[in-house]
Amino acid sequence: MGFDAKDAKYREEGTPVSGYAENGPYHCEDCVHLEGRVCAHPVVMADPGVKKKRDADGRPYVNVEHGCCRFVRQIKPAGKFE
Ligand code: SF4
């Protein structure tokens, strides 16, 4: 019995390098890599597919409310990391 990608309920989307996308349901808002309104994750910073304005250090201004990528690391409500 085999499975094909067309059988998957969810599909990976976003940029090829980091998977950055802006259509939720997760978001940068609760990620430990968000510093103010910029992302400090090195793979996201190096991702040419992330077409965002950048700060002087090359950190992209991500969409805090709707952006996300495969490197998201959420902060638990108690301030502990997942
Ligand atoms: S979810 Fe991804 S793009 Fe958003 S802040 Fe975290 S590491 Fe950066």
Nearest CA to ligand 1 atom 2: 69
- Alpha carbon 67 to its chain's center: 6
- Predicted pLDDT at 69: 95
Range of the domain at 40: 19-82
Number of domains in the chain: 1
| In-domain check, residue 54 | yes
Using the mean position of ligand 1's atoms as its centre, give its distance from the Cα of residue 34 in Å: 6
- Predicted pLDDT at 74: 87
Among candidates 38, 41, 37, which has minimal Cα distance to 73? 41
The Cα–Cα gap between 12 and 69 comes to 10
- Predicted pLDDT at 82: 54
The Cα–Cα gap between 21 and 12 comes to 10
The Cα–Cα gap between 55 and 61 comes to 7
Residues with CB under 6 Å of ligand 1 are 20, 28, 31, 33-34, 39, 41, 44, 62, 67-69, 71-72
| In-domain check, residue 4 | no
| In-domain check, residue 27 | yes
The Cα–Cα gap between 62 and 50 comes to 9
What is the pTM (predicted TM-score) of this model? 0.82
| In-domain check, residue 7 | no
- Predicted pLDDT at 4: 74
pLDDT < 70: residue spans in the chain: 1, 5, 10, 24, 76-82
